Amino acid sequence: MITYDEPSGIHGVMASFENADALVAAAGKAREAGYGRMDAYSPFPVEGLSDALDLAPSRMPMIVLGGALTGTISGIIMQYWMEVIDYPKNVGGRPLWSWPAFVPAVYELTILLGSFAAVLGMIALNGLPQPYHPVFNVPQFRTASRDGFFLCIEAEDPNFDHARTRSFLETLNPIGVYDVER
């Protein structure tokens, strides 16, 4: 039997707020109340929101560094192989391996692979492409890309109880509180 306290097919409970400051304050209060599985949506990056949500540091810098180092190392190895091992040419008694001549190509390959790593890492870490998400089922969420600020506490959270979570969100002075169905 399905009761209102434990609705099936619920992704979570979402509240909308007037501005970014109210969203950051609500996220902080939700974190203090013990909620860990939550997400915030806003039309622009909000200063302090990642701290309020207690998000882990981004892995993007390490991904980009890995791509850039791969470009640097592969550029050096590629040119060394071509100029010293595969097809050595002694022009005017100069050394076969003269690193200053290879700097521009190594630099360009570093930038190229670093930028590819940034784009592909961003796509992978953001879970894109994602043509559907349960929050799209809430009609008020259409304003999230213009002027809406939303906080969604997910049902997978260990402290999630539908009625208690809904009443908690209502105490944060939101514009509205909505059930997010799967």
> Distance between the two ends of the chain, CA-based, in angstroms?
19
Residue type, position 152, single letter? C
Q: What residues does each domain of the chain span?
A: 10-57+130-181, 60-125
pLDDT of residue 176: 96
Q: How far is CA 153 from the centre of its chain?
A: 18
pLDDT of residue 168: 97
Q: Residue 12 and residue 135: Cα distance in Å, rounded?
A: 9
pLDDT of residue 9: 86
Low-confidence ranges of the chain (pLDDT < 50): 1-4
Q: Residue 43 and residue 94: Cα distance in Å, rounded?
A: 59
Residue 169, SS3?
Answer: helix
pLDDT of residue 116: 98
Q: Tokens for 67, please give them.
A: 């791509």
pTM: 0.76
Task: Write out pLDDT tens, residues 27-64.
Answer: 999 999 999 999 999 999 999 999 999 999 999 999 99
Angle (CA) 110 111 112, round 5°: 95
